[in-house]
Amino acid sequence: MRVISIPMDFNEDELYVDLRATVGFPLFLKCEGFNFAGSIKLKAAAAMVEAAERSGTLTPDATLVESSSGNLGVALSIIAASRGYRFLCVTDARCNLSTRRLMEALGSQVHIITEPDPHGGLLGARIAYIHKLIDSDDQYVWLNQYRNPANWKAHYRTTAPSIARQFPQLDVLFVGAGTTGTLMGCARYFRESHRPVRVVAVDSVGSVTFGGPPARRMIPGLGTSVRPALLDESYVDEVILVEEADTIRTCHRLARRGFLFGGSTGTVVSGAAQWLARHDAQDLTAVAISPDLGERYLDTVYQTNWVQDLYGEGVLGTDGQLAADARRM
């Protein structure tokens, strides 16, 4: 029997799903959603809060503020509730309603940005709003996940070593790119440990992270409209861009096999499947990181009307087509 007293003490770090039957190639999916925050963001959130406490920046009378599309906001809400901090999450309309309600249930405030910045999109507008807050009131402490080195260091210390222990012969690692904290932590670890691991970043079409043109993105999690300051492309071996329609299809294919994952996971698995198919990689040991689970996406990614309104009526096909596509992935 395991007994805990604070929610951060539970985080399943060694669960993998074998996706060979789904994608047609050997691919192990590291599941990071089995904790009280429901996502990999609990690691970064805890590391950033602890670093702020050690530095004296975060004091008991401070109010945490952070920009988040959802998962980090939930993680910080849990930590704030556990440690007695006030927390304000600045998000935008793409944040799932269930995620916003969850943050509020945990005692956090949620501010929703509706108008994009002319140059930085909704993310730029969120960051601009935070700058106004911290400039006007010194009670606010911004962890700034986009620049905070504790973000990538959390994965350097935990996520990457965990994968290395389980897969000593790892050939390729697929990591989704949002703030690039997970990507940079894992890429730095394998580079500095002199492991011959190919690190492939998976991003959404429409994200500017790797220099692509901005375009509409409706699924929160991966991709940015402002290039993350944490990113150092010298550590990345390759980048794959995934259309959101492919993300949707992949999520539904996985669900047809009983695995309900979030949109970020659908993007990463789709990108990994494309890469493995191009390289005919039957003999490689490949791992992809799944950032979260799918329950918070029931009103979006898994809601037929939402999907068809945004991506067209043919995006999902029939159940039979989905099953056949899953076998061909």
Mean pLDDT of 143-167: 97
Q: Phi and psi at residue 58, in whole multiples of 5°? A: -100, 115
Between 315 and 80, whose confidence is greater?
Answer: 80
User: For position 121, what pLDDT does the model report?
Assistant: 86
What is the C-alpha separation between 322 and 74, in angstroms, rounded? Answer: 32
Sign of CA dihedral 309, 38, 203, 319: negative
Find the mean pLDDT for residues 199-210: 96
Give the pair of three-digit tokens for residue 89.
């999450």
pLDDT at residue 313 greater than cutoff 50: yes
Tens of pLDDT along 245-300?
999 999 999 999 999 999 999 999 999 999 999 998 788 999 999 999 999 999 99
Q: How far apart are CA 281 and CA 170, in angstroms?
A: 13
| pLDDT per residue as tens digits for the range 77-112 | 999 999 999 999 999 888 888 899 999 999 999 999
* Beta-strand relationship, 28-31 and 63-67: unpaired
pLDDT tens digits along 6-22: 999 999 999 999 999 99
Buried b (16+ CB within 10 A) or exposed e, 49-70: bbbbeeeeebeeeebbbbbbbb
pLDDT digits (tens, 9 = 90+) for 25-60: 999 999 999 999 999 999 999 999 999 999 999 999
The kind and range of the H/E element at 318 are: none
The per-residue pLDDT for 326 is 42
Tell me the Ramachandran region of residue 232: left when phi exceeds 0, alpha when psi lies from -120 to 50, beta otherwise: beta
What is the Cα–Cα distance from 91 to 100, expressed in whole angstroms? 9
**CA–CA distance, 179 with 45 (Å, rounded to integer):** 12
Return the SS3 of 292.
Answer: strand
Check residue 181 and give its pLDDT.
96
Residue 137 or residue 329, greater confidence: 137
Q: Tell how strand 16-18 and strand 286-290 pair up.
A: unpaired
Tokens 């996985």 belong to 254
- Over residues 138-149, mean pLDDT: 94
Residue 28, pLDDT score: 98
Q: Each residue of 169-196: pLDDT tens digit?
A: 999 999 999 999 999 999 999 999 988 9
- For position 318, what pLDDT does the model report? 55
Nearest residue to 266 (alpha-carbon basis) of 329, 327, 197, 183 = 329
